């Protein structure tokens, strides 16, 4: 098999290659003067099982086009099977019509990837599981729960007083996956959205007084919702609040918001390459998902079970 990396997250791609003890495929992925994307594969890939590693994070449209053009280049070079490895799947939050005359962009992106020539998709912690059904090709959705639970066990010597908190009702299943691995109880923050990226805490379901809390979610973007939830939990009597989030989008001044918040720590994976500000933030820590995704790639290439990773 071969690994081809786009420009969205070279650091993660190199870590995956190191885990698999494989070199990254030599390729040119660059821009013309008018910012059009040019891709040239500098190795023979005929009959190969190729994995294209590319998160569609900021700049989302550029990274998405880069992925599509890489897939097209491989298809025309007669690769036997092409797997789009997307540690972070952009546009996932637009997974349904939220009002009149609005798009379902996640389905559109799924169609683009399929039509470009991908034979399979490998991603991690989709915003909603039903997005797997948007693809007409096999789609593996890895979960970060084992990775995060392992880090929590390493960081917290005593887990008896820990309480896992879902920041909204929709994330209960995701938070429960971590809570069950830690034998911890679960609480829920009931929030109301007043607009895109804006929310207010309406109620807290569960007794949080005197407990150490861990908020668990899939995406942190502006961090406003996360920081508001943390403040509400502290106001309700929690001793401390940390957050574990799979995808650290952290757009705009999100890192400043986290730094000034009551959060003890925000832990994210490296599914999205950290900016200089995020990497230098004292309250933000990254754990690597390279081994998890790398092992899934190895299993797919060897036609082994991926779900066994989470037993």
94 is in an annotated binding site: yes
Give the residue from 235, 190, 169, 179 showing the smallest Cα distance to 208.
235
180 is in an annotated binding site: no
217 is in an annotated binding site: yes
Burial level of 8, CB count in 10 A (0-12/13-18/19+)?
buried
CB atoms within 10 A of CB 38: 11
222 is in an annotated binding site: yes
Task: Report the run of H or E that residue 178 belongs to, with start and end.
Answer: helix 172-182
168 is in an annotated binding site: yes
From the candidates 75, 97, 191, 308, give the one annotated as an active-site residue.
191
* Residue 210 to residue 217: CA distance in whole angstroms: 22
Place of tokens 């997974």: 95
206 is in an annotated binding site: no
Angle between the N-to-C axes of helices 172-182 and 145-155, in degrees from 0 to 180, rounded to the nearest 10:
50
136 is in an annotated binding site: no
129 is in an annotated binding site: no
* Residue 165 to residue 226: CA distance in whole angstroms: 11
Which tokens belong to 242? Answer: 């940390």
19 is in an annotated binding site: no
35 is in an annotated binding site: yes
155 is in an annotated binding site: no
31 is in an annotated binding site: no
Give the residue from 183, 256, 188 showing the smallest Cα distance to 224.
256
264 is a catalytic site residue: no
C-beta of residue 11 within 8 angstroms of C-beta of residue 30: no
Give the residue from 145, 143, 177, 182 showing the smallest Cα distance to 162.
182
C-beta of residue 184 within 8 angstroms of C-beta of residue 164: yes
Please report, in range form, the residues annotated as the binding site for Mg(2+): 127, 168
Question: Which residues are part of a known binding site?
Answer: 34-36, 93-94, 127, 168, 193, 217, 221-225
Give the active site residues. 191
Q: Which amino acids are annotated as binding site for ATP, given as ranges?
A: 34-36, 93-94
Residues annotated as binding site for D-ribose 5-phosphate?
193, 217, 221-225
């Amino acid at each position: 098999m071969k690994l081809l990396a786009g420009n969205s997250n070279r650091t993660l791609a190199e870590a995956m290659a190191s885990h698999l003890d494989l070199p990254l495929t030599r390729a040119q992925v660059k821009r013309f003067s008018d910012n059009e994307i040019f891709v040239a594969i500098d190795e023979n890939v005929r009959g190969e099982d190729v994995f294209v590693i590319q998160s569609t994070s900021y700049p989302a449209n550029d990274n998405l086009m880069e992925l599509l053009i890489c897939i097209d280049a491989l298809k025309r070079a007669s690769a036997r099977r092409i797997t789009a490895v997307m540690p972070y799947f952009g546009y996932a939050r637009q997974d349904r019509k939220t009002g009149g005359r609005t798009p379902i962009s996640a389905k559109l992106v799924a169609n683009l990837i399929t039509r470009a020539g991908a034979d399979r998709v490998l991603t991690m912690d989709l915003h909603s599981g039903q997005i797997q059904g948007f693809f007409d090709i096999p789609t593996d959705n890895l979960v970060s729960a084992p990775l995060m639970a392992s880090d929590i066990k390493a960081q917290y010597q005593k887990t008896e007083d820990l309480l896992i908190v879902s920041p909204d009702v929709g994330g209960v299943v995701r938070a429960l996956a971590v809570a069950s691995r830690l034998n911890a109880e679960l609480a829920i923050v009931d929030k109301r959205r007043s607009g895109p990226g804006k929310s207010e805490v309406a109620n807290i379901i569960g007794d949080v007084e005197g407990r150490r809390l861990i908020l668990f979610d899939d995406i942190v973007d502006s961090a406003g919702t996360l920081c508001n939830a943390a403040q509400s939990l502290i106001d309700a009597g929690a001793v401390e609040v940390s957050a574990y989030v799979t995808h650290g989008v952290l757009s705009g001044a999100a890192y400043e918001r986290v730094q000034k918040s009551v959060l003890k720590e925000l832990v994210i994976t490296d599914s999205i390459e950290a900016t200089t500000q995020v990497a230098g933030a004292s309250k933000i820590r990254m754990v690597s998902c390279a081994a998890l995704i790398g092992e899934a790639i190895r299993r797919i290439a060897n036609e082994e079970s991926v779900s066994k990773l989470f037993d």
